[in-house]
Amino acid sequence: MNVGVLALQGAYHAHVRTLRSLGVSATEIRKPADLDGLSGVILPGGESTTMSMLLDSSGLRQPLTELGNSGVAMLGTCAGLIMLASRIADGRDDQLPLGLLDVDVQRNGYGRQLDSFECELDVDINGMQRMHGVFIRAPKITRIGQGVRVLAALDGIPVLVEHGVCLGASFHPELGNSTLVHRHFLQLAEASAPATTPPLTHLGSR
Ligand code: GLN
């Protein structure tokens, strides 16, 4: 199974490292041809206004949207969640989301750089599990669509959501000490992968 990480800008490297630490082959996505044969795509944190512009100039916006609509698993973290969303509040006028995950988000909804914070989260993946959440100029989820499942919340506000094979996190799971979200994502990716892909039997728990 090959998983892609959008590598136009931002915090993609920690995702690539996490995937490789789990024994999964990771492709850095910079152009449409990099999408070939992927079973899942991670959209990392970074700066969503720049990411939106680069999606257009790289020609990736349309093929990436088609890939998501075709049922390939997607994980968006922080700016990546903003890109997956249906609607963005406090974005730039020319900033367009992909509309692959039916949530609305408010950019920098938890405040700006000085308001970045870390906390423990109870995550509903294979029972309740605790993990560390790193929030950096994080987007706030202000609406979830029908069928969107909340896997973790903070003060009653969703911070990790799932709809079908699409996952979105307000925080940076790649910067904590747990691979829980990535392992869950890989299971979704495996479910959406071509039938010829061998099952992931080697994913331990950490
Ligand atoms: N505030 C950033 C944005 O709007 C996201 C920050 C992040 O990804 N850590 O894109």
Total domain count, the chain: 1
Measured between alpha carbons, how far is 1 from 201 in angstroms, rounded to an integer? 12
Establish if 81 belongs to a structural domain: yes
- Residue 149 belongs to a domain with what CATH number? 3.40.50.880
Distances (CA, A) of 56 to 25, 97, 98: 26, 11, 11
Establish if 185 belongs to a structural domain: yes
- The phi, psi pair for 112, rounded to 5°, reads -95, -160
Mean pLDDT of 139-146: 98
Measured between alpha carbons, how far is 27 from 178 in angstroms, rounded to an integer? 21
What single DSSP character describes residue 189?
A: H
Establish if 203 belongs to a structural domain: no
Is pLDDT above 80 for 123? Answer: yes
Domain limits at 21? 2-192
pLDDT digits (tens, 9 = 90+) for 150-203: 999 999 999 999 999 999 999 999 998 899 999 999 999 998 765 444 445 555
CA–centroid distance, residue 110 to ligand 1 (Å): 11
Looking at ligand 1, which atom is closest to the CA of residue 44?
8
Enumerate residues 6+ apart whose C-beta is below 8 A from 195: none
CA–centroid distance, residue 136 to ligand 1 (Å): 7
Establish if 58 belongs to a structural domain: yes
Mean pLDDT of 68-88: 98
Establish if 164 belongs to a structural domain: yes
Pocket test for ligand 1, best of 15, 84, 108 (most atoms within 8 A of CB): 108
What are the catalytic residues?
A: 78, 172, 174
CA–centroid distance, residue 159 to ligand 1 (Å): 14
Identify the sign of the CA torsion 33, 92, 44, 100. Answer: negative
Establish if 204 belongs to a structural domain: no
pLDDT digits (tens, 9 = 90+) for 3-58: 999 999 999 999 999 999 999 999 999 999 999 999 999 999 999 999 999 999 99
**Residue where the block lists tokens 């692959």:** 100
**DSSP string covering 45-70, please?**
SS-HHHHHHHHHHTT-HHHHHHHHHT
